[in-house]
Amino acid sequence: MIELGGIRWSLHPLLAVLMLLSVLTGYIGELLTLFVLVFVHELGHAAAAYAFGWKVLEIRLLPFGGVAELEEKPGAPAWEEAAIALAGPLQNVWMAGAAWALGAGGAMDAQLAAYLVQANLLLLTFNLLPIYPLDGGRLLRFACGLRMNYYGTLRFSAWAGMGCSLLMIGYALLPQLQRGGSGGVQANLLAVGLFLLAANWTYRKQIPFLFMRFLMTRGRSAKRRIQAGSRARPIVVTGRHPIWTTARLFLRDHYHLVYVMDDPGRIVGVLPEQRVVEGYLSGDRAVSDLLR
């Protein structure tokens, strides 16, 4: 592990093994080229994160790409996360375009240019798969957050990531299943699928912590929206509704007012979302208790 520009850079042990094998088998040039492409991809994430005031804690280089560990800016809008996620794949777009142009113009060996185009498109396609922590998984979370509450977005993206990882594992094992056990297994794809499945399983287990962190930062974002005069998005619940399920209805990029109604349908009180957050943190009760 090294520290460069305030960011920890680390190599996955399997990547180190692959580099050693590449030296022994004569494919070190191809691996180093892929390493540089991944490095530039991750630099795109880091530059965008710094531009928005996010902190990049660590970038881990894996056999199939890289993963940037970010410390989210408190109360940051979801579109910033989407922009940071897109900043990586955009590096592969311009590198593929540059390689194609140089190859077509004769300034680069045609075979090398074709390899660079193919490698960049492969990294671009892979990173846009809707599996967290890949860029596509982060973009899926952003897209879901446009319509779904934040808690539901976390759950959906975790389950979608696990489902897609299982499909990847199944595809890797397909030759073995199709040929009655005589076919080969796509070992690289299988290893990646297992890694992503484990990552999303861990991500799913962390949802309560992620949701608590979301609530803890609501105060700052709420203050900013109130000062800017933004519209509040209403949430309507009965007085018997639990506080914890009410808090789970919050959307990431909206400020909420909670309307509490009695059984005949009369409004008996209106709660700002900060009051609901305070009630959530102080213990499980009914929403009507917050009106007293």
- Mean pLDDT of all residues in the chain? 84
User: Which domain-ending residue is among 216, 238, 253?
Assistant: 216
| Residues 69 and 164 reside in one and the same domain | no
* Strand 7-11 versus strand 2-4 pairing type: antiparallel
Residue scoring higher pLDDT (172 or 14)? 172
- Average of per-residue pLDDT across 150-168: 95
Q: What pLDDT, on the 0 to 100 scale, is given for residue 231?
A: 82
Rounded distance between C-alpha atoms, residue 51 and residue 1, angstroms? 25
**Residue 71: both structure tokens together:** 């410390």
| Residues 107 and 183 reside in one and the same domain | no
| Residues 252 and 237 reside in one and the same domain | yes
Among residues of the chain, what percentage have pLDDT more than 90?
37
| Residues 166 and 101 reside in one and the same domain | no
Rounded distance between C-alpha atoms, residue 177 and residue 146, angstroms? 40
Domain harbouring 233, CATH code: 3.10.580.10
User: pTM for this structure?
Assistant: 0.84
Residue 94 confidence (pLDDT) above 80: yes
In the sheet that 267-272 helps form, which strands lie side by side, from edge to edge?
A: 232-238, 255-261, 267-272
- Average of per-residue pLDDT across 202-218: 91
Q: What pLDDT, on the 0 to 100 scale, is given for residue 184?
A: 58
Q: 276: which residues sit within 8 A by CB, 6+ positions away?
A: 243, 246, 247, 256, 258, 287, 290
Among residues of the chain, what percentage have pLDDT more than 70?
85
| Residues 1 and 124 reside in one and the same domain | yes
| Residues 103 and 72 reside in one and the same domain | yes
Residue 144 confidence (pLDDT) above 90: yes
pLDDT in tens, 226-270: 777 778 889 999 988 999 999 999 998 888 999 999 887 788 899
**Residue 70: both structure tokens together:** 């970010």
State how many domains the chain has.
3
Domain span including residue 265:
220-291
| Residues 25 and 117 reside in one and the same domain | yes
Contact (Cβ atoms closer than 8 angstroms) between residue 250 and residue 218: yes
- Average of per-residue pLDDT across 61-80: 75
pLDDT in tens, 103-130: 988 888 888 899 899 989 988 999 999 9
| Residues 154 and 228 reside in one and the same domain | no
Rounded distance between C-alpha atoms, residue 154 and residue 210, angstroms? 8
- Average of per-residue pLDDT across 143-167: 94
User: Which domain-ending residue is among 216, 242, 261?
Assistant: 216
* Strand 65-71 versus strand 232-238 pairing type: unpaired
